[in-house]
Structure 1
Amino acid sequence: MNLEDLARRGPTVATGMPRKEFAPSFQAVGPDSYELLTLTEDATAAIEELRLLGVTVPEGFVPRLVEAKHDPAAWHRDEAFTNGKRTPAVTRGIVRRRWLFDFAAMPAQDVKRLVDWVMERKPAATIKDPDVDSAVAVPSDWQLGKVDSRGGTKETINRVMDGIDQAVDLFRSMKPKRIRVFDPGDILENFDNTPGQSFTNDLSLPEQVDLAATLTTRMLKSFAEVAPTDYYAVPSNHCQWRRGGKAAGKPADDWGINNARQLARVFGEAGRDDITITIPEPFRESLVVDIDGLPIGMAHGHQANNPDKLVDWWRGQTFGNQPMAAARLAIFGHYHSWRLQEVGDSKHLLVAKTSDSGSSWFTNLKGEDSSPGMVTFTVTDGRWNHLQVVGGV
């Protein structure tokens, strides 16, 4: 009795589930009785049958027939000629087969061959770090003027400067060709995001603006002592120009963007061609720049309701052919708690840490808090590496 005979006697003949439930025999349900048929363990015959069907079995895999099923809706007619005369046509049924390619079923001798190959393989050459093309710093969400669980402006300045000083030391040891500073925004606290800001802030809005300019100027001058430095900034919700808590202008009407424009003017007038400033077009909230072969995109992050939705926002920007469509690494701020996530075709999404004074409202609501700091990493030949957090308490 062959498989075709068994398939015709019942609707389905199966060996069972793959892996541990798989057995080299199956029970055939016929109209009169149950019969047991033992299938061959000869993988060579199975591979040859599949080859005749045009299927190539990958090396190291063993094919297992797990189902043979008669298809009552399919048939074909065979015709033959004998001595030039046509013989009566024969109608034949179609048997569908389902195969499992089981790597775990590799013969013992093949496993031993692989083990011997692993043991005899020579160690790979030691990977040495190449020269660093770019060192990257992400100073995010300073929110200058804010008072919360980690203190006020004085404490924030100490955290910010600790991060800058530690980054300078780190970058000096790396000897990069350039330093890239990605600022996702919220450099100051502002007064029109929540009613409580009018009662808790320890700096007026003009003072916040002045301090933001002072700290970013100090940061860029410090980095430029190590290598030529490029500064990138995007609009954000705390820096947004607002009236009655609502946006009052275009995306570029933003205190962080205004700060970047003033930095460009001051450094330009001083002839500092070792410091460059880049901002988005006036009606855009994101930008993408090529950093040594790696397209890096940046937006503040308030465009999504929570960090889990940032991928959806990025996906929408890609579908709409917006600037972020070209990014392989996307940098966001806003959420104060850093994360690194691989998405799509090995793209990466990075949410930066904050150096602000805390967000007790969120801790009271969710019970979560994150330590402060500044994210740094390197880019060389289109690849990022050496992810590290500097600064902190």
Structure 2
Amino acid sequence: MGIAAELAAQPSAKEQQYKPRIEFDGRTGFIDSDLHSAAETVAFDELLEKHGLAGQGVRLDPDRPVRISRWQNFAGEWLQADRFYVVAERPGGVTADRLIAQMIDHPPARRPALAGPAVFNFQASDLQIGKSDNGGTDGIVTRYLGSLERAVEKYRVLRRFNTVGPVHLMFPGDCVEGNQSQNGRNWWRTDLTLTDQIAVFEQLLYTTIEAFSDDTEQVLVDVVNGNHDEAQRFQTTRPGDGWATHAANSVSKGLARNPDAFGHIQIRTPDPERGYMTVEAGDTVFTIAHGHQWRRGKAMDWWAAQTFHGQNPGAADVLVHGHYHTWELETTDKRARIQSSTLDGGSNYYREMHGAEARRGALVYLTRAGDVTDLSLV
């Protein structure tokens, strides 16, 4: 009897059976091959197929080489088992090499075809005509006319590169300083009477409309009241009882007397029992409010609550407002909130308390199917 046969006959020398294992937690792991002759090669793809991982985004771990185990059995034959370390592919099979090659071979971008014309939007809030601080109403009117001039220039530039349809002029409140803020204590800090404030705002509306009316087939003018525009507070009247909408309705009646020249102008104000309104301009829906309906930083919460309870802001793509005297853009995937800057001279009281001042001007931008583009302060 040979030595190998004698050893095989002894229970203590019995060879242990090799058992392949697989461990994979969805991200990393390993797969053991079956025991095979050292002269044979195991195909990794066949191993994946055997264990039901083919097509599941599993690949060899590039940072860990295959572990090869070899040993000689009692019959003198060399055997081998292979451990393949695996990782899950990144989503979509993303690799740096593929992305780099994609960028190198990327053709010049083509401008996508856009459905329908864009709307040119002009948004001016918080003029507070009559406020005497830092240049008073003279400074406010000068500042506004400069913004209007730059807005018209921007409109003509944008039309060179875009199909632009209606012009949308928005005045989200605090158009006059009024005499109701701080329970009337602001009245001493005004340089115009209330009726003069209203007359100046009416003329600014006429001037703004005339700046665009000859260059477009439709002008939409939307005006809501701010807290400074309120007609009175000591008795509760209607939410829409304010001087800004009063002025807008007066201008509307004036334009109606010349339909040949101004028949393409439409002035819109909220229902008298509502302080804001939701309206269409082209293919985009706007909710226009002043902003005193919520606290700073809570505009989206107000919008969400209106939507939850089935009010008309739920249909809006864009929420437009003022009140906070600094311009802001806040977006989600489907919604945009655009907060106006101010056009007044600032508040000496606020500067004394906080030191802060705002960049002043109106906002201009394009909208198309709810998307906001080309936003700038003018």
TM > 0.5: yes
1:305 correspondence with 2:292? no
Choose the corresponding residue for 1:256, options 244, 247, 258. Answer: 244
Between 117-126 and 324-333, report the one with greater CA deviation: 117-126
1:239-266 per-residue CA deviation (whole Å, 9 max, x = no partner) reads 112234xx63111211111111111111
Partners of 1:267 and 1:353 in 2: CA distance? 28
Q: Note the 1:127-276 alignment, pairs <5 A.
A: 133-148=118-133, 150-175=134-159, 176-194=164-182, 195-227=184-216, 228-244=218-234, 248-271=236-259, 272-276=262-266
Partners of 2:233 and 2:251 in 1: CA distance? 26
Q: Which residue of 1 aligns with 2:320?
A: 331
Maintained 8 Å contact 1:61/1:105: no
Q: Offset of 1:292 from its aligned partner?
A: 2.3
1:103 correspondence with 2:90? yes
1:286 correspondence with 2:273? no
Q: Offset of 1:285 from its aligned partner?
A: 1.9
- Greater per-residue strand proportion: 1
Partners of 2:60 and 2:191 in 1: CA distance? 69
Which residue identity is paired with 1:134? V
1:360 correspondence with 2:348? yes
Maintained 8 Å contact 1:317/1:324: yes
Maintained 8 Å contact 2:209/2:219: yes
1:123 correspondence with 2:99? no
Q: Offset of 1:154 from its aligned partner?
A: 0.5
- Taking structure 1 as reference, are residues 134 and 60 closer, same or farther at Cα in structure 2, changes over 3 Å only? farther
Partners of 1:41 and 1:156 in 2: CA distance? 79
Unpaired segments ≥5 residues, structure 2? 1-18, 34-43, 62-85
Partners of 2:227 and 2:57 in 1: CA distance? 54
Maintained 8 Å contact 1:185/1:239: yes
Equivalenced residue count is 317
Choose the corresponding residue for 1:374, options 335, 339, 362. Answer: 362
Maintained 8 Å contact 1:286/1:324: no
Q: Offset of 1:298 from its aligned partner?
A: 1.1
Partners of 1:364 and 1:47 in 2: CA distance? 75
- Taking structure 1 as reference, are residues 47 and 169 closer, same or farther at Cα in structure 2, changes over 3 Å only? farther
Partners of 1:183 and 1:219 in 2: CA distance? 11
Partners of 1:101 and 1:362 in 2: CA distance? 58
Residue aligned with 2:197, SS: helix
Which residue identity is paired with 1:302? H
Maintained 8 Å contact 1:292/1:382: no
Unpaired segments ≥5 residues, structure 1? 7-13, 25-38, 63-98
Greater Rg by CA: 2
Which residue identity is paired with 1:184? P
Maintained 8 Å contact 2:21/2:31: no
Partners of 2:254 and 2:58 in 1: CA distance? 65
Q: Offset of 1:299 from its aligned partner?
A: 0.9
- Taking structure 1 as reference, are residues 115 and 59 closer, same or farther at Cα in structure 2, changes over 3 Å only? farther
Residue aligned with 1:242, SS: coil
Maintained 8 Å contact 1:143/1:187: yes
Partners of 2:60 and 2:110 in 1: CA distance? 30
1:191-227 per-residue CA deviation (whole Å, 9 max, x = no partner) reads 1212541221111111111111111111112221222
Q: Which residue of 2 aligns with 1:341?
A: 330
* CA RMSD of superposed structures (Å): 3.5
- Taking structure 1 as reference, are residues 41 and 147 closer, same or farther at Cα in structure 2, changes over 3 Å only? farther
Partners of 2:250 and 2:92 in 1: CA distance? 68
Maintained 8 Å contact 1:61/1:106: no
Maintained 8 Å contact 1:61/1:102: no
Partners of 1:61 and 1:217 in 2: CA distance? 72
Partners of 2:158 and 2:318 in 1: CA distance? 21
Which residue identity is paired with 1:310? A
- Taking structure 1 as reference, are residues 50 and 339 closer, same or farther at Cα in structure 2, changes over 3 Å only? farther
Partners of 1:105 and 1:230 in 2: CA distance? 47
Partners of 1:258 and 1:385 in 2: CA distance? 32
Partners of 1:51 and 1:178 in 2: CA distance? 58
Residue aligned with 1:161, SS: helix
